[in-house]
Chain A
Amino acid sequence: MSGRATAAAGALLALRGVSKRFGDKQALSGVDLDVRGGEVHVVCGENGAGKSTLMHIIGGILQPDAGELLIDDVAVKFADPVAASRAGVGMVHQHFRLVASMTVAENLYLNRQPKRFGLFSDRAAMRRGAADLIAGYGFDLEPDAVVGGLSVGQRQRVEILKALGFDARILILDEPTAVLTPGEVGQLLDVVRDLRAKGRAILFITHKLKEALEISDRVTVLRHGRRISTLPTAELSERAIAIDMVGREMSPAKREAQPQGEAGVAPALEARHVVATDARGRRLLDDVSFAIRPGEILGVAGVDGNGQTELSEAAAGLRTIQAGAFAMAGRDVTRLDVRARRRLGLGFIPEDRLDRGVSADMSVAENVSVGAYARRRLANGAGLVSVAARDAYAAEKIREFDVRGAKPSTPIGALSGGNIQKVVIARELDLRPVALVVAQPTRGLDVGAAEFVHRQILSAAERGCGVLLISSELTEIFALSDRIAVMFQGCLVGTLERAAATEEAVGLMMGAGTRAA
């Protein structure tokens, strides 16, 4: 094949023209990629760039619509992960597939145990094999250590060993540092360097630019399903990668720059040095502070997994924080539960509408009326609901928010995603909120519904509501926000005025956690 002459010499794994479509979303278009033995090839991109899809195709979890996979210049097709693993491709996922009560050796040999007398597990053989594997890679693990007692970093190393198996030559790591402490990150990078020295081909996905530059030989940047660039690391800087990741298309602002507003007015929503930790003590939110004026929209960008979910939950009152405070209109609300915060005028549009936004087996009327019974006189003092009043209220909302295909009695599950989101927004905006926490509001919505949602958020701000908009869609952030900040590893990094926000600056914040100089 003539194309082979152009393939990189000694490429262990190569992709040519790989495309994949999900519904009407083109996740990947004509992506080329190659990884050589003894190389660490980093793939960078923000949410929706196609990194995970690409990895899933290589790992045999998905099939490409077009294009081909080549191992050692031979075209292959992986029907499932087992086939991929047999061809020497090992994948380390973000969520580990380990059984906590079993030892390292037992996990390594799960479902492929050597047998003794045909009936019993040969634990001695398992132990020996595990010890050999561990020694071969120089890891600091005990075959008999129970996985449940290991640190996250150590567990990840067990996952890596499993992925490497006993003869994997290609290793894929999907955002491996997302769950590690700084010390553990250093150890992981050492392991990766060591594997590289042993001749493995390593594909490393990350959105953290510092890491990318530190560990890689080459960096490929994906954006909107396309390969933007592949360059040797020596020729790259954080700035350069950031620009490629974020791109030059900045969507026009949908709102005019807001005047500063009178001084001395208390912020609609405020966070002061908020810290939230998990059960291990790892900081999910690290000294987060912001102040949103009434009528202002603060857009919080960032790649998923940097604390956005935790921030929205903490602001709404669903997650207790370990330090710091939240305030609404100058009043400290840290100790208040969700109900109390809502009474003070906090609205919340959650990132997963089916999980937290609506109750699936209730009707549209019941969903939109939650919390509105007293305020809108839909029930009497004893709690007896007036169906007529409630349905009239629901009908009014359906009209006002153009909820298609809905009558008050329609079960909410019968509506499309966009219309369900409209019901959620209708409910929350009826609170006439002082502060609104909005997370990923247009995820999974079509263009028309997304437009509508944006208009609602803008008009809420126009009515004086302070909006905390958390989104991994940069175009959305740029269209709606007055100021833009970025979540990176639990920190709220620098805040820019919309006018001052360049792609470079935002990209740097998202990938490096630092402001542009």
Chain B
Amino acid sequence: MEIAQFLNSALVQTSPLLLCALATLVTSRANMLNVAVEGMALTAAFAAIAVGQTTGSSAMALTGALAASTGMALLFGGVAIGLGADFIVAGLGLNILADGGTLFLLEEVYQDPGGLRPDHFPDLWRVPDGALSFLPVIGGALERQSAITLAALVAVPVMALFLYRTPLGYALRAVGEDEAAAAANGVRAARVKMLSVLLSGVLSGLAGAQLAMDRLHFFLPAMTSGRGFIGLAAALFGAAEPWPTAGAAFVFGLFGALGDRLQAFQAPSEFVLMAPYVAALLALTVARWRAVRRARAAPVSEGGR
């Protein structure tokens, strides 16, 4: 039971990370380093709470969140791809915009820079208590998980299917790997990239919605707290492959849950929290080291000419 409980809270921690990681992954495969996931998720979180408070419907709140994040993605993609802006600077700009914009709306519309805390907030559909008690461990882990968390879990195989089994997925991978080759085959690179940014927006939106709507039911400024970047780390660690990335995101989520437990034991949680970033950096370093080794010229061979 303890394990199931632990997994349950780990899963709650993981699901926004997983969604952010998938959001980064889909743009990574098109050869774009997406640092804007953080900002898109934050915007979605705000929209979720705002719309949910006004309409009293979790479905509407979710819709609002996705609309907001996709809108941001459209803006981002339009400027970076359409107007040829530097992808990273534009991404950082989008994050600043999301931060400032949500804060501005908080202050201007809701007159409370501390956050948006509705008295009543509609709850997401979640797996009913005891519905899965026939499954050992996993059943307990999945109980009371929100619809979005379930969607996040399903998103992993769906992403794999998308990338490897659909024409658009092929086109995306081709553009990311060798844009010239893709273009030579008639693939419209700009369109494909824009689509991947929009997909990334949808996934970021789910991340933000999950963050705000699952356990918290409120919005705080900058509440994404770098999850977008941890997702980036997970995607890099997993070399932008769906299953390894999901694994990395889950491990990072575990650290988060562990961190909460360790807090109780007075151990410094900061070092545990550092782990994803250090791990990502190490993974990158090792990957590059191996690539450099492989690229060295072969010694003179007699057979080859």
Contacts and interface: CB of A to CB of B under 8 A. Distances in A.
B180 A279 contact: no
Nearest to A115: B167
B173 A101 contact: yes
Contacts of B173: 99, 101-102
B182 interface: yes
B181 interface: yes
Contact of A280 (B181, B182, B304): B304
B178 interface: yes
A275 B297 CA distance: 12
A278 interface: yes
B110 interface: no
A121 B305 contact: no
Contact of A119 (B166, B182, B186, B298): B166
A120 B174 contact: no
Given A120-B165, A121-B165, A277-B297, A97 B180 contact: yes
B193 to A, nearest CB: 15
A98 B305 contact: no
Nearest to B180: A97
Nearest to B296: A279
A97 B184 contact: yes
B300 A111 contact: no
Contacts of B181: 96-99
Interface string B27-53: 000000000000000000000000000
Contacts of A283: 300, 304-305
A323 B300 contact: yes
B295 interface: yes
A240 interface: no
A81 B294 CA distance: 36
B258 interface: no
Interface in A403-462: none
Given A97-B181, A277-B298, A322-B297, A120 B304 contact: no
B166 A111 contact: no
Contacts of B166: 119-121
A350 B284 CA distance: 35
Interface in A141-190: 181-182
A181 B170 contact: no
A66 interface: no
A34 interface: no
A136 interface: no
Interface in B93-139: none
A389 interface: no
B301 to A, nearest CB: 4
Contact of A278 (B167, B174, B297): B297
B18 to A, nearest CB: 24
A7 interface: no
Contact of A121 (B170, B180, B182, B304): B170
What's the interface size class on B, roughly? 20 to 34
B181 to A, nearest CB: 4
Contacts of A322: 297, 299-300
A286 interface: yes
B297 A111 contact: no
A224 B301 CA distance: 39
A120 B299 CA distance: 45
A279 B297 contact: yes
A281 interface: yes
A286 B180 CA distance: 31
Interface residues of A, number: 34
A329 B178 CA distance: 46
A98 B185 CA distance: 9
B305 A97 contact: no
B251 interface: no
Contact of B177 (A101, A275, A280, A490): A101
Interface in A320-376: 320, 322-323
Contact of B186 (A82, A120, A182, A278): A82
A399 to B, nearest CB: 41
B14 to A, nearest CB: 28
A156 to B, nearest CB: 14
Interface in B173-227: 173-174, 177-178, 180-182, 184-187
Contacts of B19: none
Given A279-B296, A279-B297, A286 B305 contact: yes
Residue among B180, B295, B298 with the highest chain A CB neighbour number at 10 A: B298
Contacts of B177: 99-101
B66 to A, nearest CB: 21
Interface in A99-151: 99-102, 106, 110-111, 113, 115, 119-121, 123
B171 interface: yes
Contacts of B301: 277, 281
Nearest to A81: B184
Interface in A68-101: 81-82, 96-101
B165 A123 contact: yes
A204 B298 CA distance: 31
Contacts of A279: 294-298
A466 B298 CA distance: 32
Given A115-B167, A279-B296, A102 B174 contact: yes
Nearest to A93: B184
A364 B79 CA distance: 35
A10 to B, nearest CB: 31
B299 A111 contact: no
Contacts of A119: 166
A98 B187 CA distance: 13
B304 A111 contact: no
A106 B177 CA distance: 14
A124 to B, nearest CB: 12
Contacts of B298: 277-281
A120 B165 CA distance: 6
A282 interface: yes
Contact of A100 (B165, B178, B184, B304): B178
Nearest to A181: B305
A187 B9 CA distance: 61
Nearest to B294: A279
Contact of A99 (B167, B182, B299, B304): B182
7 contacts: A98-B181, A111-B185, A113-B170, A115-B167, A181-B304, A277-B297, A278-B297
Interface of A: 81-82, 96-102, 106, 110-111, 113, 115, 119-121, 123, 181-182, 275-283, 286, 320, 322-323, 490
Closest 3 CB pairs of A and B: A281-B298, A281-B304, A97-B184
